[in-house]
Amino acid sequence: MKYVYIIIIAVLLASCSSSRKAAKAPMIGGLTGEAYIEKVIELAPAWQSLSGKVALDLSLGEGKHAEVNATLRLKRGESIQLSVAPFLGIEVARLEISPEGLLALDRLNKRYVQVSFEEINRWARTDLSFAVLQSLFLNELFVPGKTQVDRDDASDFRLSLAEGRAILEAKGEHQLTYRFFTSTEQGWLEESRIGVSGTPYALQWKYGAFRKVEQRFFPEQMKLSIEGTGKPLALGMDFSRLSVGGDWKTRTEIPAKYTRVSIEELLKILQNG
């Protein structure tokens, strides 16, 4: 369960990176800047649901390391669920992200953490939403205030080139900065970065091992890392048996006998663990 708590804290700490000065729209692969951005948007999966197995690999620095297998279930606009069931298929922990916020169930100790995005943003001084986290899991571009990006949103991004990759950055004044690194050859989204200028924190979400899933190239490897916390914190995700479609219950019921744990208590658990 501590493993699931760490994932929550990683989400709460999502902040910051210094922004680069973007160049005027260059030509990439024979396409103008906006046409290239449209290509990247079109390559994103339009799936309404996705599920599969995922091997989670957590690194905390100083030799601390943990691995666990889980099941991912994602339904667009409704929920993202990570279920840990290592013993004969019996679930011991669950993390659920919904438009209302985050819920983590510790079935072994009969306790739970539940926090709204409003509380998360106030506590961590960020501007996160379900739509942003959904896009990170689905390897999509995103902009603040939109549930899903389409071709008409291409003009909302600035484009520049650096180190052989095309960098897209969301325009406008936002509390957070949003930058996306893509491969100029295929147009695949290889890295998303969320940050706030002038702070030491950053959320970096990298993608690799692209494979075809339902006629779309999708990364079977993702790595989330947090910067600025004073010690390394990274979560690797290796997916397998990915499938599109399916139906399941998107909201988890909290058993009456479970005890609620606050964010402050959660931090103490992690510090003493």
Which residues are registered as beta bridge partners of 73?
51, 81
Residue 98 predicted with pLDDT over 80: yes
Residues 176, 100, 233: CA angle, nearest 5 degrees: 50
Token duo for residue 126 = 């960020």
Most confident of the ranges 23-32, 121-130, 143-152: 143-152
Given this model, what pLDDT does residue 192 score? 94
Given this model, what pLDDT does residue 19 score? 35
H-assigned helices in 69-219? 117-124, 130-137
Given this model, what pLDDT does residue 15 score? 39
Which residues are registered as beta bridge partners of 99?
none
Higher confidence at residue 163 or residue 204? 204
From 48-52, 82-86, 148-152, 173-177, the region with the lowest mean pLDDT? 173-177
Given this model, what pLDDT does residue 16 score? 36
Q: How many helices (H) and strands (E) does the chain have?
A: 5, 14
Given this model, what pLDDT does residue 17 score? 36
What mean pLDDT do residues 115-131 have? 79
Place 222 in a pLDDT band, splitting at 50, 70 and 90.
Answer: very high
Measured distance CA(207)–CA(209) in Å, rounded:
7
Which candidate, 12, 7, 11, 10, places its Cα nearest to that of 93? 7
What's the CATH code of the domain at 96?
2.50.20.10
The count of structural domains within the chain is 1
Place 101 in a pLDDT band, splitting at 50, 70 and 90.
Answer: very high
Domain range for residue 65?
2-272
Tens of pLDDT, residues 1-49: 665 666 666 666 643 333 333 334 455 656 777 888 999 999 998 899 9
